[in-house]
């Protein structure tokens, strides 16, 4: 079994491009080889910041031979009376490349005919790879492509060398004007001399000798081990940051970390400022003490294994010190003015070219929030709310947030707190961007929730209004997350508002900014939000998808009620009686769909079962009314289950489609009344019950 090694040596590839490259390479090379008939191979794709690598194990020397049965003319035509081959036989033999006496025959439904077994000899593996590899590499797609030199080729970064080895033999191929060979180089600092790779087999070890760790998992392990060693020196632990560690793995060929210190005074800055300063520009991890308090130490990623003269540490400490001093400068500058003083400047800040400035947006958000507060009977002064809707956006004008956009909200919270603003207000500034989608907690205060929901509804209404809607994986304005945030806050804050009405109002407030018909925009936003509500029920509340569909069909715009109803149905639906009920409901539906409404006239009842069903329906309607008013949906579904017996008897004993039209209309009206009561809870026909349409 042979091993194939491909290494494409490049200039530094962006960290965010490597994961995609890894996936595409493995899929294309693996897929191509399987298609060519190679079985039982294993494909690994292991890129570093300077190389794309593929290793394939378990390759045969050549493609497997393939045999094929080919049918020729009937024997009666292939041989003459004397048994000698005719022209037809000779022609067939020529076609399959065999002599006539190498042919044999098969029996088919129409008699015997001439046949041949043709063998397609597999091509040498190297030949297959020489075609597959260039095609694959040229077909790779990166977030951003570039050209270089004469500008003839487009790739993620310029290519400098190609190693293509099948065991010890070079697979000759060409990529971007470079011919494959067996020469490469090691780590930029620790092993820059070019060298030859003798065999594909020893590649990982050879590269490691030259300080390149090809396997990302190995780099991750080394990082973790080194970090553990270093934090031990100062008795701290790493402030966890999975995303940053994942990026470190892609940034270097040799996973080096160094420990540095900074002036303790910088810890007087808000915690998020210190963490973000280290992370944003320097991609440094910060350390914390056992109680979670930050410590004046950091871990910097370096692409080398040592620091021979201490210059690397010294340099990194200097830069971190400078960055933190810069952050402190921003902080001190920002503190010279109150956020109130910045409010007038909001009209210098663009929200969207058609939807206006942040001041325009804040004004819409304020009105929307005041409306919501009114519906909720929240004890919030409308003028305070209007002021807050503007104040929470002013941190966008501070030096700190201009520098670190990711601190929006957080800084507003800190600055207002330091100004002595009430907790309700500063937490609203801090929290109103939270949660991000379904992730995280909802804002702490009623004020934060009101502004958070209003802000997102305005964003949704406005951007849908100007047609900038998400498509596929593209959602540049984060509208899915915005809608998720609305759903999560409204549901978990227990707001009994009609979400549909809130959307209508948000669209109305923004409608003079766009030309699309507001009704159309409302409909699209409503459908978009409904999709998020459904996902919320499934992913967060944890009900099955058909439970979600069933309860949403009975109305979905009051979320806390919807959630309780969904949970109640999810709890009830597995009982046998309920499964029967779901099927019966479908039957009721089938009978009554498209029939005119009518009033039930008890005097027309002919059979006891009719009266019984009628009495039970009336009783159920009363109980349901009480349960709905008190939101005891469990009771409501239990009452529904109690109807099963009566309904079953009715279906067995009573002929709904009676010849007497009066009787028929009356029976349909009875079933329809029952169906309407059921539908206040859920559309049971959406439930996927085994035995389905029985």
Partner 1 sequence: MLDLQTLILSLQQYWADAGCVVQQPYDVEIGAGTMHPETFLRVLGPEPYRVAYVQPSRRPADARYGENPFRLGRHLQLQVILKPSPENVQDLYLQSLAALGIDPAVHDIRFEEDNWESPTLGAWGVGWQVLLDGMEITQFTYFQQAGGIELAPVSAELTYGLERIAMFLQRKDSIYDIEWGGGVPYGAVRLEDEREASAYGFEVADVEMLRRHLEDWEREAERCLDHDPPLVIPALEATLKISHLFNLLDARGAVSVTERVGLIGRTRRQAVRVAKAYVAQREALGFPLGNVLEEAAD
- Give whichever of 357 and 664 is closer to partner 1, judged by the CB atom: 357
CB of 427 to partner 1, least distance (A): 30
Site membership for partner 1, residue 16 (CB under 8 A): yes
- Give whichever of 319 and 469 is closer to partner 1, judged by the CB atom: 319
Q: 516-521: which pairs have CB atoms within 8 A and are 24 or more residues apart?
A: 516/465, 516/466, 516/467, 518/465, 521/461, 521/464, 521/465
Question: Do 180 and 26 form a contact (C-beta atoms < 8 A)?
Answer: no
Query: Which residues, numbered 418-437, are part of the site for partner 1 (CB under 8 A)?
Result: none
Site membership for partner 1, residue 349 (CB under 8 A): yes
d(CA 170, CA 457): 61
Sign of CA dihedral 410, 414, 420, 423: positive
Site membership for partner 1, residue 641 (CB under 8 A): no
CB of 356 to partner 1, least distance (A): 8
Q: Torsion angle of alpha carbons 44, 48, 52, 54, nearest 10°? A: -20
Query: Which residues, numbered 169-208, are part of the site for partner 1 (CB under 8 A)?
Result: 188-189
Position among 148, 195, 438, 651 found at the interface with partner 1 (CB under 8 A): 148
d(CA 633, CA 563): 10
- Give whichever of 284 and 410 is closer to partner 1, judged by the CB atom: 284
- Give whichever of 179 and 329 is closer to partner 1, judged by the CB atom: 329
CB of 481 to partner 1, least distance (A): 25
Q: Is 416 helix (H, G, I), strand (E, B) or coil?
A: helix
* DSSP code string of 599-637: ---GGG--SHHHHHHHHHHHHHHHHHHHHHHHT-HHHHH
CB of 249 to partner 1, least distance (A): 14
Site membership for partner 1, residue 280 (CB under 8 A): no
Position among 109, 149, 476, 694 found at the interface with partner 1 (CB under 8 A): 149
- Give whichever of 130 and 319 is closer to partner 1, judged by the CB atom: 319
Site membership for partner 1, residue 20 (CB under 8 A): no
Position among 29, 133, 251, 294 found at the interface with partner 1 (CB under 8 A): 251
- Give whichever of 311 and 527 is closer to partner 1, judged by the CB atom: 311
Select from 161, 124, 133 the least CA-distant residue to 56.
133
335-357 as b/e, with b when 16 or more CB fall inside 10 Å?
A: eeebbeebbeebeebebbeebbb
Site membership for partner 1, residue 353 (CB under 8 A): yes
Position among 357, 375, 544, 606 found at the interface with partner 1 (CB under 8 A): 357
Residues 6+ apart with CB under 8 A from 378: 372, 446, 450
Site membership for partner 1, residue 18 (CB under 8 A): no
Site membership for partner 1, residue 140 (CB under 8 A): no
- Give whichever of 256 and 443 is closer to partner 1, judged by the CB atom: 256
Strands 159-166 and 174-175: unpaired
Site membership for partner 1, residue 500 (CB under 8 A): no
Site membership for partner 1, residue 343 (CB under 8 A): no
CB atoms within 10 A of CB 651: 17
Query: Taking the chain, what is the end-to-end CA distance rounded to the nearest angstrom?
Result: 58
For partner 1, how many residues bind (rule: CB under 8 A)? Answer: 49
Site membership for partner 1, residue 336 (CB under 8 A): no
- Tokens read off for 585: 């409901």
Q: Near partner 1 by CB under 8 A, which window of 102-110, 211-219, 295-303, 576-584?
A: 295-303
Q: Is 107 exposed, middle or buried (0-12, 13-18, 19+ CB in 10 A)?
A: exposed
d(CA 92, CA 79): 12
- Tokens read off for 107: 């029996």
CB of 230 to partner 1, least distance (A): 16
Query: Which residues, numbered 296-325, are part of the site for partner 1 (CB under 8 A)?
Result: 300, 302-304, 307-309, 311-312, 314-316, 318-322, 325
* Binding residues vs partner 1 (CB under 8 A): 11-12, 14-16, 144, 146-152, 158, 160, 188-189, 251-252, 256, 281-282, 284, 300, 302-304, 307-309, 311-312, 314-316, 318-322, 325-326, 329, 347-350, 353, 357
């Amino acid at each position: 079994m042979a091993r194939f090694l491909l290494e494409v040596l490049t200039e530094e590839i962006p960290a965010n491009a490597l994961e995609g490259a890894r996936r595409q390479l493995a899929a294309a090379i693996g897929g191509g080889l399987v298609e060519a008939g190679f079985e039982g191979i294993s494909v690994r794709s292991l890129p570093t910041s300077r190389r794309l690598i593929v290793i394939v194990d378990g390759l045969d020397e050549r493609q497997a031979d393939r045999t094929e049965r080919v049918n020729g003319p009937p024997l009666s035509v292939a041989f003459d009376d004397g048994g000698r081959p005719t022209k037809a036989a000779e022609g067939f033999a020529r076609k399959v490349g065999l002599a006539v006496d190498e042919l044999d025959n098969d029996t088919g439904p129409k008699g015997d005919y001439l046949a041949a077994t043709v063998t397609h000899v597999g091509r040498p593996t190297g030949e297959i790879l020489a075609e597959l590899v260039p095609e694959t590499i040229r077909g790779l797609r990166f977030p951003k492509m570039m050209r270089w030199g004469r500008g003839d080729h487009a790739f993620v970064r310029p290519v400098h060398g190609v190693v293509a080895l099948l065991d010890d033999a070079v697979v000759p191929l060409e990529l971007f004007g470079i011919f494959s060979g067996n020469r490469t180089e090691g780590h930029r600092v620790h092993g820059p001399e070019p060298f030859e790779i003798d065999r594909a087999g020893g590649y990982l070890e050879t590269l490691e000798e030259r300080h390149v760790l090809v396997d990302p998992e190995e780099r991750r392990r080394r990082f973790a081990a080194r970090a553990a060693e270093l934090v031990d020196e100062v008795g701290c632990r790493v402030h966890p940051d999975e995303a940053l560690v994942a990026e470190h793995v892609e940034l270097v060929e040799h996973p080096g970390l160094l420990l540095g210190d900074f002036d303790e005074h910088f810890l007087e800055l808000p915690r998020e400022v210190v963490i973000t300063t280290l992370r944003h520009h320097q991609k440094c991890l910060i350390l914390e003490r056992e109680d979670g308090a930050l410590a004046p130490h950091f871990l910097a990623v370096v692409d080398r294994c040592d620091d021979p003269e201490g210059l690397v540490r010294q340099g990194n400490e200097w830069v971190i010190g400078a960055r933190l001093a810069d952050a402190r400068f921003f902080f001190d500058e920002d503190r010279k003015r109150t956020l109130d003083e910045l409010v007038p400047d909001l009209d210098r800040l663009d929200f969207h070219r058609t939807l206006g400035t942040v001041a325009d947006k804040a004004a819409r958000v304020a009105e929307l929030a005041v409306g919501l507060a009114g519906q909720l009977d929240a004890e919030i002064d409308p003028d305070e709310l209007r002021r807050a809707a503007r104040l929470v956006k002013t941190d966008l004008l501070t030096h700190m947030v201009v520098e670190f956009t990711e601190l929006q909200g957080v800084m507003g919270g800190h600055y207002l707190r330091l100004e002595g603003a009430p907790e309700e207000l500063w937490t609203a500034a801090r929290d109103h961007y939270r949660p991000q989608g379904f992730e995280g907690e909802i804002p702490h205060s009623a004020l934060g929730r009101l502004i958070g929901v209003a802000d997102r509804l305005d964003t949704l209404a406005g951007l849908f209004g100007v047609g900038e809607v998400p498509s596929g994986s593209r959602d540049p304005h984060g509208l899915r997350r915005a809608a998720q945030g609305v759903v999560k806050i409204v549901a978990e804050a227990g707001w009994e508002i009609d979400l549909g009405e809130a959307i209508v109002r948000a669209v109305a407030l923004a409608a003079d900014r766009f030309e699309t018909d507001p009704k159309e925009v409302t409909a699209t936003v409503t459908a978009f939000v409904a999709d998020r509500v459904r996902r919320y029920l499934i992913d967060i509340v944890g009900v099955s998808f058909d439970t979600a569909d069933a309860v949403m069909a009975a109305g979905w715009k009051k979320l806390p009620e919807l959630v309780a109803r969904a949970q109640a149905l999810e709890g009830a639906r597995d009982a046998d009686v309920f499964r029967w009920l779901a099927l019966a409901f479908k039957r009721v539906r089938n009978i009554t769909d498209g029939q005119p409404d009518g009033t039930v006239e008890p005097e027309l009842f002919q059979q006891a079962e009719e009266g019984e069903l009628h009495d039970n329906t009336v009783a159920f309607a009363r109980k349901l009314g009480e349960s709905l008013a008190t939101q005891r949906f469990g009771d409501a579904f239990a009452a529904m289950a109690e109807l099963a017996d009566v309904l079953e008897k009715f279906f067995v004993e009573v002929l709904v489609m009676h010849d007497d039209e009066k009787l028929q209309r009356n029976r349909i009206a009875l079933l329809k009344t029952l169906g309407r009561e059921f539908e206040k809870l859920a559309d049971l026909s959406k439930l996927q019950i085994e035995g389905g349409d029985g």
